[in-house]
Amino acid sequence: MRFDIITVLPGLLESPFAHSILQRAQNKGLSEIYVHNLRDYSSNKHKSVDDYPYGGGSGMVMQIEPFAACIEKLKAERDYDEIIFMTPDGETFNQEIANGLSLKKNVIILCGHYKGIDQRIRDVYVTREISIGDYVLSGGELPAAIIVDAVVRLLPGVLSDETSALSDSFQGDLLDAPVYSRPADWRGHKVPEVLLSGNQAKIEQWRYEQSLERTQKRRPDLLE
Ligand code: ADE
For the chain, the domains span 2-152, 173-223
pLDDT at 173: 84
Would you say the CB of residue 66 lies under 6 angstroms from ligand 1? no
Would you say the CB of residue 92 lies under 6 angstroms from ligand 1? no
- Determine the Cα–Cα distance for residues 211 and 171; give it in Å rounded to an integer: 13
pLDDT tens for 211-221 read 999 999 999 99
Pocket perturbation via mutation, ligand 1, pick of 109, 122, 131 by most ligand atoms within 8 A of CB: 131
- Kindly give the distance from the C-alpha atom of residue 178 to the centroid of ligand 1, in angstroms, as a whole number: 31
pLDDT at 169: 77
- Determine the Cα–Cα distance for residues 6 and 144; give it in Å rounded to an integer: 10
- Kindly give the distance from the C-alpha atom of residue 87 to the centroid of ligand 1, in angstroms, as a whole number: 4
Question: Alpha-carbon dihedral of residues 34, 146, 137, 36, nearest 10 degrees?
Answer: 0
- Kindly give the distance from the C-alpha atom of residue 45 to the centroid of ligand 1, in angstroms, as a whole number: 30
Q: How many helices (H) and strands (E) does the chain have?
A: 6, 9
ipTM: 0.98
In 30-145 the beta strands, taken as DSSP E runs, fall at 32-37, 50-51, 61-62, 82-92, 106-111, 128-131
* CATH number assigned to the domain with residue range 2-152, chosen from the 4 options 3.40.250.10, 3.40.50.2000, 3.40.50.300, 3.40.1280.10: 3.40.1280.10
Asked if domains 2-152 and 173-223 share a fold, the reply is no
* CATH number assigned to the domain with residue range 173-223, chosen from the 4 options 3.20.20.300, 1.10.10.60, 1.10.101.10, 1.10.1270.20: 1.10.1270.20
Q: Is a pLDDT exceeding 70 seen at residue 145?
A: yes
Taking the model in full, what pTM does it have?
0.94
